[in-house]
Structure 1
Amino acid sequence: MRSILVVEVMGGLGDVILALPAIHALALSHPEATLHVLTLEPWHVLLERDPLVGEVIPLAGRDTAEVRRAVEDALDRIRPDLSITTSRRHGLPGLLEAAGGVAVTNLWRSPPPDQLVDQRYVELLALDGVIDPRYAGQPPRLALDPDELGAGRELLSALVPDGRPAALLVPDSGMAVKRWPPRHWVRLTSRLLAAARAPVLVAEEPERWRELTQAGAVRAPRLALRQLAGLYAAAGEAGGACVGGDTGPVRLATAVGLRAVGLYGPTVAARYGLHPRHGVNLQGLPECPVRQPANFTEQVCWWDAQCPLTEGNGPACMSHISPEEVAAALGIG
């Protein structure tokens, strides 16, 4: 192997992080090869300082024509001996298979219901003989440089000057159906304060969650992705933790070593949860009759968060996870 191309255009921050174990396993299995990763902006910055990645190819556009053009250009320029895609959209399997070399174009085949997505990727690459099986099982990890970690420590010290362990609260989600109720966040904030923990609100839309700051949470400033990763890493060093739903920023926290409690309602924690080395997954309402583990986007609640079990008053599966359950997972009882 002289060159390897990984195409990761699933679309989200969390998708890039889920691909990290496979990306690193490929680099470690073929140390003599240059590893190229084509992925979407702005998530490409997560790979820019990774010592195992030779080139990051950012893609701004997301429609099929733009994705195909970018992949075709990369294939023509790199002429990879091995090409891999995590997505089967945009006609990518056909493009990679027609380019010559070895192509792995289906990392979604026959998924078991209880295997994490990132681990499934690596297992299939091992079964296909393109990575060394000894690199399977590793959790996602993001490389930070000393300056980024130093800046994270400074920010953490400013947010929590008394040195209490920080609990970074991540209530936002791109899908309303994945959001934990505000009243639960407020109760958890009170429990954290009573246990001498420092609740820190990390949110793109902090005004939506003003109840948390009114309850005593400190608001973190809006940060670029790698700055946020630095804050997470510093909090992890200081014995902190993170709480949030099935969302990219929570996965980012675990990728830099911050222990997290993941709140899973409409999606299945056994499949989309956090790696057990770095997180605890809480599944709300496991017996939900409308959940479709094989294709959660077809659930009646998915797009508008209108839960048929509560007559539209918020997702029952998310409400089912109690603040007391989260507090116990954080070790504060």
Structure 2
Amino acid sequence: MSHEPIADFETGTLRGTGVGPLLERFPDVRRIAVLRGGGLGDLMFALPAMQALAACYPKAEVVLLGTPVHAALLAQTHSPVHRVQVLPYARGVRPGPEDPAAQTEFFARMRAENFDLAVQLHGGGRYSNPFLLRLGARYTVGLRTPDAARLDRSIPYVYYQHEPLRALEVAGLAGAVPVDLEARLRPSEEARHAVRELLDMGGTNPGALVTIHPGATDPRRRWPVDSFVQVAAAAAADGSRVLIVGDEADKALAEEIVRLADSVDGAVSSMAGRLSLGELTALLAASDVMVGNDSGPRHLAQAVGTPTVGIYWVGNAISAGPLGRTMHRLHLSWVTNCSVCGVDVTQVGWTAERCSHDESFVAQVMPEAVYADVRDLTAMSLLLRDK
């Protein structure tokens, strides 16, 4: 039996250590394209790699080939990304109704950019590597499964790997040393001002502000409503102001939590569907603690430096959990089989197809344990704020 090489590059001289091989820099790099589609969480996973690339090539422009939500967020925050080019709908890169003419126009514009380096951070490369190669960049690096098109330098795509570290390992192929292991973002002053007015916080010294995001794209990652209700009610009873956040799709869920928490004097309220992404970022930065499932807003709260309490299925914790535990606590569900059909869910997305059932993987996580961490992190935040 023949085997694929574990990595596709000429090793030459390895310069120090990063996350995986740290290879020689490419010469004369002035414009870098980074391919990463998906949602908010996917962007957070890619930011450390883009920070490393920006530091490695300080004269280069970093252009993210991303999605509308990436463009909206980065337009209202400070980040290592100079520009966002929104991807066309394309199989395996940005799901949606494909338009061949739109794709042709996109690639014509991208080739006119004359990218020196193109970096593939979007999965194993079956679809994303051919997409990247159509940019016409002088050099290409990225991830690769055995059936994917070859790039100039690539490393194997292995399903269970921490996503930000995976992206940093790719950046190392271009000679980029990690600057930070986790995403860092700063909300704009305009967004901060809007949130101060929204919360009526100007010139006051409010008590603890706890934000809760109960949604997740995959329903199996969602903690039950009643569990969020118990945490919200406990925080309100302890004197915290509790805000439920989310997008339009989360509004009904947020309003149900507010109704069931039945807090005194409106201590639990909803802002779901009321905030721009920049305002959400500023609100999370103003919060003392954020509670959420494995979802974009939890990753965003982490990126702006707010302590978080996350409810995670163990497989997602491997790929998307925070690295530290001083400011970020995890409560894990160790479910390994679907409760309805018994399929091994540890293989889903790797060697098995997803079953049709949406039962929560994280229902077993106990609200009392989650709130104990909320209380501890709230006390830490208030202590730091008073110093």
Which band: TM-score by shorter chain?
Answer: 0.7 to 0.9
Q: 8 Å contact 2:49–2:178 — kept in the other structure? A: no
Q: 1:74 to 1:331 in 2, by over 3 A?
A: farther
Partner residue in 2 for 1:46: 73
Query: CA separation of 1:287/1:36 partners in 2, compared to 1, >3 Å: closer, same or farther?
Result: closer
Aligned to 1:311: none
- Which residue of the partner structure matches residue 26 of structure 1? 53
Structure 1 gap segments, 5+ residues each: 306-313
1:86 aligns with 2:113: no
Structure 2 residues without counterparts, runs of 5 or longer? 1-28, 145-154, 378-387
- Equivalent pairs, count: 313
Q: Does the 8 Å contact 2:142/2:170 carry over to 1?
A: no
2:346 counterpart letter in structure 1:
Q
Matched residue, 2:320: 272
Kindly indicate whether the alpha-carbon contact (under 8 Å) linking 2:70 and 2:84 is maintained by their aligned counterparts in 1.
no
Residue number in structure 2 paired with 1:119: 165
CA contact (8 A) 2:254 2:270 kept: no
Q: Provide the residue aligned with 1:224 in structure 2.
A: 276
CA distance in 1, matches of 2:79, 2:70: 17
For residues 1-333 of structure 1, the aligned pairs below 5 Å read 1-9=29-37, 11-48=38-75, 49-50=77-78, 52-59=80-87, 61=89, 62=94, 63=96, 68-69=103-104, 72-87=107-122, 88=124, 91-97=127-133, 99-106=136-143, 109-111=156-158, 113=160, 115-126=161-172, 128-131=173-176, 133-135=177-179, 137-157=180-200, 163-204=206-247, 205-214=250-259, 215=261, 216=263, 217-220=268-271, 222-235=274-287, 240-265=288-313, 267-276=315-324, 278-285=327-334, 290-292=344-346, 295=349, 298=352, 303-305=356-358, 314-315=359-360, 317-332=361-376
Do the aligned partners of 1:268 and 1:293 also contact (CA within 8 Å) in 2?
no
Distance (whole Å) between structure 2 residues aligned to residue 213 and residue 146 of structure 1: 29
Q: Distance in 2 between matches of 1:158 and 1:297?
A: 50
Match of 2:171, SS? Answer: helix
Structure with greater Cα Rg: 2
Residues 219 and 91 of structure 1, relative CA distance in 2, 3 Å threshold: closer
Give the letter for the 1:194 counterpart.
A
Mapped to 2, the partners of 1:17 and 1:2 lie a distance apart of 24
Deviations 1:8-27 (A, max 9, x none): 12x22211121111111111
Distance 2:374 2:252 in 1: 26
Structure 2 CA distance for aligned equivalents of residues 296 and 195 of structure 1: 44
Taking structure 1 as reference, are residues 110 and 96 closer, same or farther at Cα in structure 2, changes over 3 Å only?
closer
User: Compared with structure 1, are the counterparts of its residues 40 and 30 closer, same or farther at alpha carbon in structure 2 (3 Å cutoff)?
Assistant: same
Q: Deviations over 1:37-77 (max 9, x none)?
A: 12111321222354633322123644455685465234311
Distance 2:137 2:350 in 1: 35
The answer as to whether partners of 2:284 and 2:304 remain within 8 angstroms in 1 is yes
| Structure 2 length-normalised TM | 0.72
Contact residue 155 and residue 231 of structure 1 kept, 8 A = no
The farther-off stretch of 140-149 and 208-217 is 208-217
* CA shift in 2, pair 1:247/1:297, >3 Å: farther
CA distance in 2, matches of 1:145, 1:190: 32
Q: 8 Å contact 2:35–2:132 — kept in the other structure?
A: no
In structure 2, relative to structure 1, the CA distance for the partners of 1:233 and 1:34 (3 Å cut) is same
- What is the one-letter code of the residue matched to 1:93? N
RMSD (Å), alpha carbons: 3.0
For residues 78 and 85 of structure 2, the distance between their equivalents in structure 1, rounded to whole angstroms, comes to 13
| Residue aligning to 1:308 | none
Q: Structure 2: how far apart are the matches of 1:42 and 1:54?
A: 16
Task: Provide the rounded CA distance (Å) in 1 between the counterparts of 2:34 and 2:44.
Answer: 13
- Change in Cα spacing, 1:179 to 1:299, as seen in structure 2 (3 Å) is farther
1:309 alignment partner in structure 2: none
Larger deviation, residues 269-278 vs 12-21:
269-278
> C-alpha distance in 1, partners of 2:189/2:62?
24
Paired residue type of 1:284: S
Distance in 2, Cα, partners of 1:42 & 1:263:
24
**What is the one-letter code of the residue matched to 1:117?**
E
3-state SS of 1:111 partner = coil
CA shift, 1:4, in A, is 0.7
CA deviation after TM superposition for structure 1 residue 295, in Å: 2.3
SS in 2 for 1:31: coil
| Whole-angstrom CA distance in 2 between matches of 1:175 and 1:134 | 30
Distance in 1, matches of 2:143 and 2:370, equals 36
TM-score (norm 1): 0.82
